[in-house]
């Protein structure tokens, strides 16, 4: 019969070796992060991760360990990604030059600014509302494309909808803020009036199909309930629906979108202001490749995760209360690699140049398993 103490000694010896190898691996991970920052390469590379996992699993002699090895390697990949994101975030805070809000709004007219969708999109309207006329606007297909083009340097700033007063947060945008090395540099709120749009001469009685972004459907749900026989077909953007209606030139299809979209595509408003909430408003975030620091900024956005145990989130939130930092919003999003664990997106009042805020961020780094600063900017006010 084997001696349990000797077996434990063997495990301790292996753990000691693993710890040394872990530290060695993380040092290389940091160098990879520096390469990615210098070459505008995103942290996430799912194909590379799967390739590494499969290659190492093949080295197992005992194939009954395949699933356990996969879980172990997958966990190691997650730790490496979080370490890279934290490291890159610390570089951004430390190395960024201080820009002013005026430098954002009074940018060179040669700068290219991006919005998702096609002309007539609410995002395009928000872009012009924030930056003013005379800008060079560049449209992309999807919300994620804004972040991709920002990282690549194709566009100077981009704008994306982040939250609606009727339907809540736009989850994908929060995920992209965490995924890509980009930051919120400003925000603007836009009152949204949704309209039922069709070709000239079309009436409500003609309609069988309606095209819009899911947010457009959600914001108009009470109106749509009265027409439950209509087939609702989601599009990547509300303005894409209007563009499609124009292309099809059929009285049987309609779009939900803006007055401006109807004018651009020479369509008619069949029914105006169909949104359920008369105060329907969308908050848009201005996205930048660099973290903008300025003494007048008064709102900070961060994302973090905690240990999966009782009291962890409470321990995080106490740092805000103890330092009299007002929380504006907290929202959770699932961590895809860890079922039933969550990222917490937090907005609070403050400035990253303030010593008190710096102390809170340092404290959060100690008690969180992951944290990333998403931006420091001025709160929108009319």
Residues tagged active-site:
282, 284
Would you give the DSSP letter of residue 165? Answer: T
Q: How far apart are CA 260 and CA 137, in angstroms?
A: 16
Alpha-carbon distance 254 to 269, whole Å? 10
User: 115 Cβ partners below 8 Å, 6+ apart?
Assistant: 121, 123, 124, 126, 127, 137, 138, 139, 140, 146, 158, 159, 160
The CA-CA-CA angle for residues 45, 47, 52, to 5°, reads 100
- CA 366 to chain CA centroid, nearest Å: 24
Q: Map residue 293 onto helix, strand or coil.
A: coil
Q: Is the CB of residue 264 less than 8 Å from the CB of residue 119?
A: yes
Kindly report the backbone phi and psi dihedral angles of residue 197, in degrees, each rounded to the nearest multiple of 5, phi listed first: -120, 135
CB of 94 within 8 A of CB of 117? no
Give the residue among 317, 314, 325, 315 at the shortest CA–CA distance from 354: 325
Beta bridge partner(s), residue 105: none
């Amino acid at each position: 019969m084997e001696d349990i103490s000797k077996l434990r000694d063997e495990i301790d010896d292996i753990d000691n070796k693993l710890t040394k190898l872990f530290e060695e691996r993380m040092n290389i991970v940091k160098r990879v992060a520096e390469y990615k920052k210098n070459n505008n390469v995103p942290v996430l590379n799912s194909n590379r991760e799967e390739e590494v996992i499969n290659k190492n699993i093949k080295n197992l002699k005992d194939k009954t360990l395949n699933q356990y090895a996969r879980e172990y390697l997958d966990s190691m990949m997650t730790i490496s990604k979080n370490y890279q994101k934290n490291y890159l975030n610390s570089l951004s805070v430390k190395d960024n030059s201080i820009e002013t809000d005026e430098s954002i709004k009074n940018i060179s007219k040669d700068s290219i600014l991006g919005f998702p969708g096609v002309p007539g999109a609410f995002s395009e309207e928000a872009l012009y509302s924030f930056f003013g006329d005379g800008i060079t606007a560049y449209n992309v297909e999807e919300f994620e494309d804004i972040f991709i083009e920002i990282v690549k340097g194709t566009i100077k700033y981009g704008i994306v909808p982040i939250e609606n007063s009727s339907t809540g947060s736009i989850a994908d945008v929060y995920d992209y803020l965490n995924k890509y090395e980009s930051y919120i540099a400003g925000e603007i709120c836009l009152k949204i009036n949704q309209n039922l749009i069709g070709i000239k001469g079309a009436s409500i009685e003609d309609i069988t199909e309606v095209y819009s972004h899911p947010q457009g459907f959600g914001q108009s749900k009470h109106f749509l309930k009265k027409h439950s026989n209509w087939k609702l077909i989601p599009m990547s953007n509300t303005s894409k629906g209007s563009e499609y209606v124009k292309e099809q030139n059929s009285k049987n299809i309609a779009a939900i979108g803006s007055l401006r979209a109807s004018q651009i595509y020479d369509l008619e408003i069949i029914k105006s202001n169909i949104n359920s909430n008369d105060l329907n408003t969308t908050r848009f975030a201005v996205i930048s490749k660099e973290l903008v620091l300025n003494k007048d900024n008064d709102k900070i956005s961060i994302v973090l995760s905690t240990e999966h145990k009782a009291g962890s989130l409470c321990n995080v939130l106490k740092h805000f209360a103890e330092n009299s930092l007002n929380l504006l919003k907290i929202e959770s999003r699932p961590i895809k690699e860890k079922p039933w664990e969550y990222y917490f997106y937090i907005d609070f009042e403050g400035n990253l140049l303030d010593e008190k805020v710096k102390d809170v961020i340092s404290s959060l780094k100690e008690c969180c398993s992951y944290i990333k600063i998403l931006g420091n900017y001025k709160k929108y006010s009319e």
